[in-house]
Amino acid sequence: MSGLRRHAWVVAVTALALTVVACGNAQERDLCRQYEDLQEAVAEVETLDPATATAADVVATVDEVIVQLEQFQTAATEGLYEQSISNLTFALTELRQVAFDLGDEGLEVARPLMEESVATSLTAYNALQKRLDVVCGTD
């Protein structure tokens, strides 16, 4: 291989390697950006006060988290977070269903059930959060 060909080959391989690295970083940045949006939505769940929240508050808050979670799941293409996402989706759906089914009058009686659903949702989120804080450097 002549010097010029070898140089061209090295340049091509280097360019390819940099392209692959850049793609990985772009995917990670997208994942972390979606994670930030998810964090903001979950923060709203954390501020829900089961003693004063209305059913409409709970449903709207949970719906926003589910939207953000779906967008995050799209960014998390490699399936590493599938079980954690599934657990959180289940817990949020249960919380939403409690609020939707009972309405404001029913929530008055079932506040402990709503508190438990909020706690379950946050526990599921914390499991996902621990993994993502490491990946996204937010730990």
The CATH number for 37's domain is: 1.20.120
Given CA atoms 59, 32, 90, 121 in this order, what sign does their dihedral have?
A: negative
**Beta carbons within 8 Å of 80's beta carbon, 6+ residues apart:** 131
**Residue 103: which of 66, 136, 67, 59 has the closest Cα?**
59
Whether residue 112 lies inside any domain: the answer is yes
The pLDDT-based confidence of 64 (bands split at 50, 70, 90) is: very high
Residue 126 located in a structural domain: yes
Which domain, by its residues, includes 92? Answer: 31-136
Q: Is the pTM of this model over 0.75?
A: no
Give mean pLDDT, residues 82-107.
Answer: 85
User: Is 13 within a domain?
Assistant: no
pLDDT digits 0-9 by tens, 102-117: 888 877 777 787 788 8
When divided into structural domains, the chain yields a total of 1
Within-domain flag for 11: no
88 within domain boundaries: yes
Is the residue at 5 inside a domain?
Answer: no
Q: Is 91 contained in some domain?
A: yes
69 lies in a domain? Answer: yes
